[in-house]
Structure formats: structure tokens, C-alpha cells
């Protein structure tokens, strides 16, 4: 099933059906010494693949390919910056639109990634799997020397940046997975993923009125729960940023610009929910969050690529994104 991370232009809605995200990704993990992972709880309700291949942590060995247009990929960019891994893991940035084959490096001179030397992310997938049958997704970790994709399993990528790359974190890196609230955070992240991160897609890609109505009600039930949760705390788990905040933010950043209209999630705008809006602006003010949020790329991606929802490919001028810079009180 195609989605924003899958390289299929145009066809996203299956008539008469509810949207069902394909969660089958390349299961490989990059671990501290190439051995067993240090932790195996990702917060999506999706267990790790047993006996998945592992690759050793090694500065400079891997390149993170992550489009700022994609919410799943932006998670990885934010976590990389929060943990201070910029000099350890390089980044390749595809442009916001793609064709039926793959994300492309059209933002780079000559349309070629300067490190991997490829025009399409598809080339890294095919370098490892010549007949790779699934979508070409971001984020993807690519081994620079071989040019082969290592993994595209997005919840595990950010999880492992924290647990497996610890020796390379900056001294002031935040504890994104605090043990004191870990169990509760797992529950929060699973609900956020199921009902919000994925919930907006269930609305936008619904193939029937019944499927849309059910998806809409589920989404707003959890949005109301989050609004209430944030009424007495700064972040989802208290006074400090955690992985849960990274995962929620990338959906909130796209809400008014895309999901409210394009995906018909239109009961409220984010700006009309005072606690969620304060929270989102608070995170946006942090360089790791705001610096990896590009509203123009976000709009270009959804409105141009998803032609069965927006056949004219007209990209709206609004909303006014300067409101994200308003002081948080």
C-alpha cells in the first residue's frame, strides 16, 4: 500500500476500503558492536523481527537519507540533531516530490547525492536487493562504501540512534527514553502512532464514507485526549523532551498545512487547540525541530504527489506559517 513514504505517485486510495499501512520494512538493525540490540521496545506495538541481521555502529559508515517532506523521515533528522550525531552520521536530503520509481536528489547539484553518487534512493535499494518488491521509503540508512540500503524500519532507526549510538552522543544529549516513565511512554507512543500519526492517513486515504467517518472519530478522540494531557505539563512525559514528543511533533507540524484540508481532518485547526498549539510552538522553537521543518516542502509533497486526492496538483498558498514564531506563553 502506497503512502507518503512509498514511491508511488498518484494511487493512494483503494475504493471501498479503509487504509491499512504496510509496516513491513527491511528489519536490519545497527547495533553498538554488531551484536544483540541493547533494547527491543520501539513503542509502536510492533515487535522486532527475530534474528534480523545487525550491522556495527561506526562513525562515517552510514548515511541517513531523509526527506524533510516526510513525517517519518523528519523524526530521524530531529533525533540525529538532538543527540549531536551530525558529525557521526551524514545526511542526504531528497527533494519533496518523486515519481513512480523513487525519491530523487533533485535538491543537490546535478541531481546527484554528493556522497552516495546516486540520483535515486531506489539505486541504494537495488544495490542490495536487485528485485526489491516494496516501496522505496525514507528514512533509510545506507552504507556509504557499498552504496547498499541497510534498513528503512523508521521506528527502529530513531530508537537505535538513542540506544546503540550512545558512545557518540554529545555530552548534553537529552534522555529521550527515560527509564522512570518508560512503560507509560510506550503506551503514549503506541496510541499516538496508531491514532494520530497513522490516524490522519486513515482519514485521507479512506476509500469509503464509513471508513472515513470511523477514522475521523478515532483521530479526534485522541487529539482531545492529548489536548487534555498537555493542559498540566510542558511535554508529553513531563518537563523534558522525549522520543514521544518527536513522534507527535511531525504530525502536528503538518496538521494545518496538509491534514486539515487535504486529508479532511477538519474539525479543528491545530491553532484552535490552545494546549497542543502551545506545545507544538514550544518544540518548533528548538533548532532540532524547527530547523528540520520545511513547510513549503511539506505542501509540495502532499499536494503534488498524491494526485488521486488532489488531481490538479495545485499547492495552496496558506496557511500563514509565521504564527509558528509567536512567543510561547
DSSP conformation class of 7: -
CA dist 200 and 88 (Å) reads: 34
Per the listing, cell 464509513 goes with 210
Was 103 annotated as part of a binding site? Answer: yes
Q: Is 154 left (phi over 0), alpha (psi -120 to 50) or beta?
A: alpha
The upper half-sphere exposure of residue 51, i.e. CA atoms within 13 Å in the direction of its Cβ, equals 0
Q: Which three cell numbers stand for residue 37?
A: 540490540
The secondary element (H helix, E strand) that includes residue 29 is strand 29-31
Residues in the chain: 329
DSSP conformation class of 309: T
Q: Which of 114, 143, 138, 135 is nearest to 54 (CA)?
A: 143
Which residues are catalytically annotated? Answer: 70, 201
Output the known binding site.
Answer: 103
Output the known binding site for glutathione.
Answer: 103
Amino acid at each position: 500500500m502506497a503512502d507518503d513514504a512509498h514511491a508511488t505517485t498518484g494511487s493512494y486510495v483503494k475504493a471501498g476500503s479503509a487504509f491499512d499501512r504496510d509496516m513491513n520494512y527491511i528489519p536490519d538493525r545497527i547495533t553498538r558492536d554488531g551484536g544483540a540490540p541493547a533494547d527491543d521496545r520501539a513503542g509502536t506495538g510492533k515487535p522486532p523481527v527475530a534474528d534480523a541481521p545487525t550491522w556495527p555502529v561506526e562513525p562515517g559508515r552510514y548515511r541517513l537519507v531523509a526527506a524533510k517532506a516526510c513525517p517519518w523521515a523528519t523524526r530521524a533528522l530531529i533525533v540525529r540533531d538532538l543527540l549531536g550525531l551530525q558529525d557521526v552520521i551524514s545526511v542526504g536530503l531528497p527533494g519533496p516530490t518523486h515519481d513512480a520509481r523513487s525519491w530523487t536528489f533533485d535538491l543537490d547539484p546535478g541531481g546527484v547525492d554528493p556522497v552516495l553518487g546516486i540520483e535515486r534512493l531506489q539505486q541504494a535499494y537495488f544495490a542490495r536487493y536487485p528485485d526489491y518488491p516494496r516501496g522505496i521509503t525514507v528514512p533509510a540508512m545506507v552504507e556509504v562504501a557499498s552504496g547498499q540500503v541497510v534498513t528503512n524500519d523508521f521506528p527502529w532507526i530513531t530508537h537505535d540512534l538513542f540506544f546503540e549510538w550512545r558512545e557518540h552522543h554529545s555530552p548534553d544529549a537529552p534522555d529521550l527514553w527515560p527509564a522512570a516513565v518508560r512503560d507509560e511512554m510506550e503506551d503514549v507512543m503506541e496510541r499516538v502512532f496508531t491514532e494520530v500519526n497513522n490516524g490522519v492517513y486513515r482519514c485521507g486515504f479512506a476509500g469509503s464514507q464509513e471508513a472515513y467517518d470511523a477514522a475521523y472519530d478515532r483521530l479526534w478522540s485522541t487529539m482531545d485526549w492529548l489536548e487534555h494531557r498537555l493542559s498540566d505539563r510542558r511535554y508529553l512525559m513531563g518537563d523534558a523532551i522525549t522520543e514521544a514528543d518527536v513522534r507527535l511533533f511531525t504530525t502536528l507540524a503538518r496538521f494545518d498545512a496538509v491534514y486539515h484540508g487535504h486529508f479532511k481532518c477538519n474539525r479543528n485547526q491545530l491553532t484552535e487547540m490552545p494546549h497542543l498549539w502551545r506545545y507544538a510552538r514550544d518544540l518548533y522553537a528548538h533548532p532540532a525541530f524547527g530547523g528540520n521543518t520545511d513547510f513549503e516542502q511539506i505542501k509540495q509533497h502532499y499536494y503534488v504527489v498524491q494526485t488521486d486526492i488532489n488531481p490538479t496538483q495545485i499547492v495552496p498558498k496558506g496557511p500563514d506559517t509565521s504564527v509558528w514564531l509567536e512567543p510561547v506563553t
